[in-house]
Amino acid sequence: MIALLAAIGIMSAMDQEAALIRDTIQEKEIVQVGCREFIKGTFEGVPVVFTLSGVGKVSAATTAALLIAKFGVDEIVFTGVAGGGKGVEIGDVVIGHTYLQHDIDTRPFFPQFYVHSLSKQTLPADQKLIARMKAAADRFFANGIAFPSLGILNPQVREGVIVSGDQFVGAAHHEKIVDSTKDVLPNGFHAIEIEGAAVAQVCNELEVPFVVLRAISDKANHEAAVDFLTFMDQVASLYSHGILKEYFQAN
C-alpha cells in the first residue's frame, strides 16, 4: 500500500475515454467508495488518483467531491470526448477556460444559467493549469498525430468555452442552446458535453484547481468522422494518454 499526500485526480466519464491511462498507472491500490472505484498509484512518476465518474452532472460532481474530500487531491484533470461548437473540427482538442451549465433555468427568480452557490452564470478554470495543458497538447500534436482513415489530418488545440447539460444533444437542440446562450456567451462555445461544468462548480466551490480536456468527436451538424465508440477507442483514449503523459512529465 502506498500513501499519496499530494495527488492529482484524473477523471473520465467512460472507460474508453481513458483506458490507456488506467492501464499504465503504476503501484496500483484500488479503493472502493460506494459504487465507485478509485485507483491510487503513480502516472509518469506523479502520485494520482484515477476514477470513472460515469455519465451525468450529478455523477461527475459526486466523484469530484470525493476526490477532494476523501483523497485530498490538490488538482483535478478531466479528460474525454465532446461535441464540437464554434470554430472546431472533428479530432481537435478543446481545453476549457470557461464553463456554463446550459440546462439550468430558475427564471424569473434568477438569471438563466445562474449557479446559486457561486452567484455566477459562467465559471472559470485555473489559468496555470490551462497553460500547462495547452503546452502539453501542443507537444503531443507536434509529433504529427493524424488519423487519415477517419479524415483527421491536422488536429488543432484550442482553448475555449465548454457548455454542459444532462442530455446528448441533437442538431436542432444544439441550435437552441446556441441561441439561448448568446447573451452570456457572445462569442459562442467551442465544445458541448455533460460533465465539465459540474466539475467546474465543485472545484470552484472547494477552491481546488482543475482543467478539462475534450476531444471533439462530432460537429454541431452531427457530422461524425466515425462511430462514437470507435472514436473513443482509437482517438480519444490515445489523446488522453499522450497529452496527459506530456502534462505530467512537465509537472
233 is catalytic: no
Buried-exposed string 135-153: b where 16+ CB fall within 10 A, e elsewhere: ebbebbbeeebebeebebe
Kindly provide the b/e burial profile for residues 64-98, where b requires at least 16 CB atoms within 10 angstroms of the residue's own CB: bbbbbeebebebbbbbbbbbbbeebbbbbbbbbbb
Catalytic residue, chosen from 75, 92, 218, 246, is: 218
Q: Checking DSSP bridges between strand 36-43 and strand 26-33, what pairing results, if any?
A: antiparallel
Length of the chain: 251
- Cα–Cα distances (Å) from 205 to 16, 110, 140, 208, in that order, read 29, 19, 32, 8
Q: Is 44 a catalytic residue?
A: no
Please tell me which residue in 17, 126, 193, 246 is annotated as part of the active site. 17
Catalytic site positions: 17, 218
